[in-house]
Structure 1
Amino acid sequence: MSHVPVKFAYWVPNVSGGLVVSTIEQRTHWGIDYNRKLAQLAEQAGFDYALTQIRFTAGYGAEYQHESVAFSHALLAATERLKVIAAILPGPWNPALAAKQLATIDQLTNGRVAINLVSGWFKGEFHGIGEPWLDHDERYRRSEEFIRALKGIWTQDSFSFAGDFYRFRNYTLKPKPLQQPHPEIFQGGSSRAARDMAARVSDWYFTNGNTPEGIRAQVEDLRAKAAANGHSIKVGVNAFVIARDTEAEARAVLDEIIAKANPEAVQAFGHEARNAGAASPEGEGNWAKSSFEDLVQYNDGFKTNLIGTPEQIAERIVALKAVGVDLVLAGFLHFQEEVEYFGRRVLPLVRELEARAAAQAAA
């Protein structure tokens, strides 16, 4: 197990409806005042990153959405150490714009911005804004070119690139980002195409919620492929965290979220998500094996099972670390209160268990 402490990120609720497709009461808001305070609480609690979401159209309870890059900058302006990962969608963005935008934000925030390149899974959204909907593996080919272009622009002068989707001729961006060699590049996905791309070009791979065994298999595949490419990659896992003083309280919250799930929205989301995955050559991809309950939380966050007492959750986080997880991407029901509780009750236990494991390894 790595001696580097596991890192923590939280989903920024810059989209309405929270992170569950349920009518359960949520003391979470998509607006900037709520999110500024949340970012400050998360920084104090010991979170390393915040991840903004990119949505262009309403759907599945997400009626209101703030744009991710502008919102990320606002959160960076309100904090001092937190890194904010801006989600960007190829199509609406091209690499020249993203590289320029993020280089400026990196300069303005002393090197605290990162990017999450989202290849896209919501066909209706692309149609709604007049963007062509590419075939599954084509979306990943485009994303890979996008990342290669970004890295080139950020690290080279007179950068030239001739891809199927993007072209550059002797392009020099100045100023370049402060971060060396460049801002961190995150990417998600659960399909083979997503892992293959990550193993070639990304710094971080976000995987859907899963058991330690399921994650171990993905990590081993990813690391072997990355090593063959002379590349190294870190892994983040999605988790919906329900930390309560007793396990019974935590389970009751989960039961209520599922009991109050919006079946039409969950089924529509499941249908849309599975359409995107079914188009992958192996007919898999995100959510291929998700149950109704799993789909109530985007990206299978319940599967990671960070639901219970602070002690149980800390132990499960350290078990995830043991199979190769470098970062936990956490979602919550009532973000402000629960991020604060997580920082106070869960994170210190994780650090304690890590220190104990390191001492045992040294002995």
Structure 2
Amino acid sequence: MTIRSDQTLEPVRFAYWVPNVSGGLVVSRIPQRTSWDAGYNRKLAQIAEEAGFDYALTQIRFTAGYGAEYQHESVAFSQDLLAHTNKLKVIAAILPGPWNPTLAAKQIATISQLSEGRIAVNIVSGWFAGEFRAIGEPWLDHDERYRRSEEFIRALRGIWTQDNFTFRGDFYRYTNYTLKPKPADPQPEIFQGGSSRAARDMAARVSDWYFTNGATPVELRKQVDDIRAKSVEFGNRPKIGVNAFVIARDTEEEARAVLDDIIAQADPEAVKAFGHEAKNAGKASPEGEGNWAKSTFEDLVQYNDGFRTNLIGTPDQIAERIVALKDAGADLILLAFLHFQEEVAYFGREILPRVRALEAAREAAPAAAAA
């Protein structure tokens, strides 16, 4: 596989899913030493910062389901994590519909000022129709949800960077609107997720970052090449993040046994219910290629197909697979764990240094060859 020259100079970055929603990050009855409460998450953020993580991503849920009986709101929770850390950036998930750009822009601008620029946003276009119906929000068709999200992002950027901002969209409209104070420098980064044609096209036009569900290097490379080619005409260059679930043990056999145990103890009804909603959302894209459209039962035990990325094995194996993802175009790996605090610490101690050593060896090789 060809290594992209523009990525060899930049170290791959790491983010973790914030468990601000109960039930952990697998739909399984297996014991998880992970908690959704504030104290646990404050300590986790400090561990992640010390371990070398760059970002934390809070989740947004408005209704219970699939083991997630309790949910802390993402923006407020993000601010709390920022107040208990010094370097970590926190990405707050925001869902157009319940939020409008005016509220989101003002919230994030204030948090940016308070945190000296450590807040970012993840614009979630929505996949759970039942959630929208439960809170009385219209459920738009698949591509319409992404059109709304794109307008949301354009509105955020305009409010954050312009005075007397005027915008005429189908979903949002502004006339000579000025927000002060604006966010601190640097401007909040804008993330988005998806795998569909509409998601990739939106990323190419307006987003700073594109998150995709778990994928092999070959699958990831296809998406990266597609987005890169599309983004050229818009003068944009979104960075790419891929989801992964990490199971690191002394041997690959031990790690695989943990995976087998997670799947064996999966809650079939919850997984099938989640799969029904998620697959419907993915297949609703005109090309039928959205997130989860082809996920198996085993894939769906981890919310975002994290097992498919295959960061399961020894620290050496996982580090090598991370570098392979980087070679395929990943700028960031978004990680989940079974037991967050201890496994995030272990990742920082045992895996991240191996990744950096592999990156350094790659950097040194051309110089050595030239000498």
Task: Tell whether the structures are fold-level matches, with TM greater than 0.5.
Answer: yes
The equivalent of 1:125 in structure 2 is: 131
Bigger mean CA offset, 306-315 vs 226-235: 226-235
1:105 aligns with 2:129: no
Instruction: Extract unaligned runs of 5+ from structure 1.
Output: none
Q: How many Å apart are 1:19 and its aligned residue?
A: 0.4
Q: Alpha-carbon deviation of 1:276?
A: 1.0
Q: Which amino acid aligns with 1:78?
A: H
Provide the residue aligned with 1:172 in structure 2: 178
User: Where does 1:255-334 land on structure 2 (aligned, <5 Å)?
Assistant: 255-334=260-339
**How far 1:284 moved relative to its partner?**
2.1
Give 1:40 deviation, angstroms.
0.2
Whole-angstrom distance in 2 between the partners of 1:324 and 1:54: 27
Q: CA deviation at 1:24?
A: 0.1
1: CA distance between counterparts of 2:95 and 2:12?
A: 27
Aligned: 1:139 with 2:139: no
Alpha-carbon shift at residue 15 of structure 1 (Å): 0.2
What is the RMSD of the two structures over their aligned residues, measured on CA atoms? 0.6
Paired residue type of 1:113: I
Please give the alpha-carbon distance, in whole angstroms, between the structure 2 residues aligned to 1:252 and 1:179. Answer: 46
Q: Alignment partner of 1:70: what SS?
A: helix
Alignment check: 8 A CA contact 2:280 2:293 kept: no
Q: CA deviation at 1:230?
A: 1.4
> Residues 61-95 of structure 1: CA distance to partner in whole angstroms, max 9, x if unpaired?
10000000000000000000000000000001000
In 2, distance between residues paired with 1:88 and 1:346?
Answer: 31
* Cα distance in 2 for residues equivalent to 1:340 and 1:281: 42
User: What is the CA-CA distance between 1:179 and the residue it aligns to?
Assistant: 2.2
Question: What does residue range 45-60 of structure 1 map to in structure 2 within 5 Å?
Answer: 45-60=51-66
> Which of 69, 75, 84 is the aligned partner of 1:69?
75
Superposed, which structure 2 residues align to 1:175-194 within 5 Å? 175-180=181-186, 182-194=187-199
Equivalent in the alignment of 1:213: 218
Q: Does 1:37 align with 2:37?
A: no
TM-score of the superposed pair, with normalisation by structure 1: 0.99
Q: Identity over the aligned pairs, expressed in percent?
A: 78
**Offset at 1:323?**
1.0
Displacement of 1:286 in angstroms is 0.7
Which of 161, 164, 180 aligns to 1:155? It is 161
- State the distance in 2 between where 1:274 and 1:297 align: 14
Shift of 1:244: 1.1
- Amino acid paired to 1:306: L
Q: Take 2:119 and 2:234, find their aligned partners in 1: how far apart are those partners?
A: 26
Partner Cα separation in structure 1 for residue 30 and residue 200 of structure 2: 34
Residue 230 of structure 1 corresponds to: 235
Amino acid across the alignment from 2:323: V
Distance in structure 1 (CA, Å) of the matches to 2:353 and 2:279: 38
- Structure 2 gap ranges (5+): none
Helix, strand or coil at the partner of 1:299 = coil
Cα shift at 1:362: 3.2
Q: After TM superposition, give the deviation of residue 248 of structure 1 in Å.
A: 1.2
Deviation at 1:280, TM superposition (A): 1.0
Indicate if the aligned counterparts of 2:247 and 2:337 stay in contact, CA closer than 8 A: yes
Q: Does 2:87 correspond to 1:84?
A: no
Quote the Cα distance in structure 2 between the aligned partners of 1:362 and 1:299. 39
Q: Describe the superposition over 1:38-66 as per-residue Cα deviations: whole angstroms up to 9, x where unpaired.
A: 00000000000000000000011100000
1:155-180 deviations in Å (ceiling 9; x for gaps): 11100001000000000111000123
1:197 is aligned to 202
Is the 2:279–2:294 contact (alpha carbons within 8 Å) kept by the matching residues of 1? Answer: no
1:355 aligns with 2:360: yes
CA distance in structure 2 between the partners assigned to 1:19 and 1:296 by the alignment: 9
Q: Which amino acid aligns with 1:149?
A: A
